[in-house]
Amino acid sequence: MVVTSRDEAPATLKPEYDRASELKAFDDTKLGVKGLVDAGVTEIPRIFYSPPDDMDNSASGDTQFSIPVIDVQGIEKDVTKRKKIVESIRDASETWGFFQLVNHGIPVSVLEEMKEGVRRFYEQDAQVKKEFYTRDHLRPVVYNTNFDLYSAPATNWRDTFYCLMAPNPPKAEDLPAACGDILEQYSKLVMKLGTLLLELLSEALGLNPNHLNDIDCSEGLAVLCHYYPACPQPELTIGASKHADDAFLIVLLQDHIGGLQVLHQDKWVDVPPVPGALVVNIGDLLQASLLIILLITNDRFKSVEHRVLANRVGPRVSVASFFSTGRRPTSKIYGPIKELLSANNPPKYRETRVSNYAKYFSEKGLDGTSALPHFRL
């Protein structure tokens, strides 16, 4: 991973230029960041320059910490083992908000083919790919660069396409030919895994195992397929700015390149690629529905901020599965779990429609601040 000081940042960092029209011209190419790399750019356009704070690497690469790796083999059969695993998931969710999962039941061959499928999508014929380029969230496949392109302070060095795979998956013929089959197969397996994780998280909170699934935390699944092209100047931009996720729970498949970091005790800690593993993290909505509640502190389960560094080596491919119905209008309302409230632990967040939360999150963009304070009582 390339970690460079910002001392030589050019004076052009200040947007003394017509940013809006440069964004529009870039968006109109419909070729994304990959299009720039294919055209052979050696200097990145200034729309990608990140504010120096985003690039703060002073606390990077601290080896004193590493995010927990949890092995869930045998969890369905062995009660004692399950108890131990629930214990480690609770601990990881309280202290990190992030953990890696091994022996999760999704075959390595499926993981590999999923990453291959994403690569095939981005590396296919540009004319075919352009057909999917859109900012219309009602399309079955939404491919573009940065969902917050026009509102974020800086553009991220990343292209993304996403599909809502539950509760109403697109018709097979509406999915990209490059990866439709594997996307359907992978989504079914991730849904099964997410359902299990929500059972374990319910148990970790001392609730009935079905609680979080019963309140439909696993109803919606958005699968985001990211492509971070090799970057000629990784010291000037970032793959994904610091953010927390707008979902209940996220299951992330990353390739071997690395660059994902989580903010832990004010230090950026690497989430190193582990072959065959999936990265799991708690999103804002789970934090909002659980935290509120908890006996000692509202910060028991954490929706932790994270980011992805740009890298001279690439592309990097990742697939982020968001358990949330947020990207489609839903009138469902979430608030503090009543069972966990008491006189000493009154609700701290107001009841909120997922759609309102999602609207606020997407208008705010990845600006480095949390969406949650907006919903505090």
Site residues for ligand OGA per CB under 6 A: 224, 226, 240, 245, 252, 254, 260, 306, 308, 318, 320
Contact partner, 287, from Ni ion, ligand OGA, none, Cβ < 5-8 Å per class: none
Contacts of 224 (CB under 8 A, 6+ apart): 160, 161, 162, 319, 320, 321, 322
What is the closest distance, in whole angstroms, from the C-beta atom of residue 204 to ligand OGA in the complex? 23
Contact partner, 90, from ligand OGA, Ni ion, none, Cβ < 5-8 Å per class: none
Q: How far apart are CA 55 and CA 57, in angstroms?
A: 6
What is the closest distance, in whole angstroms, from the C-beta atom of residue 322 to ligand OGA in the complex? 7
Select the residue whose beta carbon is closest to Ni ion and give its number: 245
**3-class DSSP state for residue 54?**
helix
CB of 317 or CB of 340, closer to ligand OGA: 317
Contact partner, 104, from ligand OGA, Ni ion, none, Cβ < 5-8 Å per class: none
What is the closest distance, in whole angstroms, from the C-beta atom of residue 342 to ligand OGA in the complex? 33
Could you tell me which of 160, 174, 181 has the C-alpha nearest to residue 225?
A: 160
CB of 247 or CB of 337, closer to ligand OGA: 247
Positions 103 through 132 that interact with Ni ion (CB under 5 A): none
Q: DSSP secondary-structure letter at 167?
A: S
What is the closest distance, in whole angstroms, from the C-beta atom of residue 250 to ligand OGA in the complex? 7
Q: DSSP secondary-structure letter at 349?
A: B
What is the closest distance, in whole angstroms, from the C-beta atom of residue 191 to ligand OGA in the complex? 18
C-alpha distances in angstroms, 233 versus 25, 54, 111, 360, 367?
21, 15, 30, 32, 21
CB of 249 or CB of 340, closer to ligand OGA: 249
Burial annotation 82-97 (CB, 10 A radius, 16+ → b, else e): beebbebbbebbbbbb
CB of 326 or CB of 336, closer to ligand OGA: 326
Contact partner, 163, from ligand OGA, Ni ion, none, Cβ < 5-8 Å per class: none
Cα angle value 126/129/133 (rounded, 5°): 120
What is the closest distance, in whole angstroms, from the C-beta atom of residue 222 to Ni ion in the complex? 12
Q: How far apart are CA 260 and CA 240, in angstroms?
A: 9
What is the closest distance, in whole angstroms, from the C-beta atom of residue 318 to ligand OGA in the complex? 3
What is the closest distance, in whole angstroms, from the C-beta atom of residue 216 to ligand OGA in the complex? 21
CB of 199 or CB of 245, closer to Ni ion: 245
Q: How far apart are CA 319 and CA 306, in angstroms?
A: 15
- The torsion angles phi and psi of 257, rounded to 5 degrees, stand at -75, -40
Q: How far apart are CA 2 and CA 203, in angstroms?
A: 40
Contact partner, 224, from Ni ion, ligand OGA, none, Cβ < 5-8 Å per class: ligand OGA
Positions 212 through 271 that interact with Ni ion (CB under 5 A): 245
Q: How far apart are CA 347 and CA 358, in angstroms?
A: 21
What is the closest distance, in whole angstroms, from the C-beta atom of residue 125 to Ni ion in the complex? 30
Q: How far apart are CA 297 and CA 283, in angstroms?
A: 18
CB of 1 or CB of 75, closer to Ni ion: 1
Q: How far apart are CA 285 and CA 326, in angstroms?
A: 10
Positions 24 through 83 that interact with Ni ion (CB under 5 A): none
Q: How far apart are CA 145 and CA 157, in angstroms?
A: 8
CB of 104 or CB of 316, closer to ligand OGA: 316
CB of 31 or CB of 247, closer to Ni ion: 247
C-alpha distances in angstroms, 160 versus 36, 39, 47, 163, 321?
15, 19, 17, 10, 13
CB of 207 or CB of 358, closer to ligand OGA: 358
**Which spans of this chain sit near Ni ion (rule: CB under 5 A)?**
245
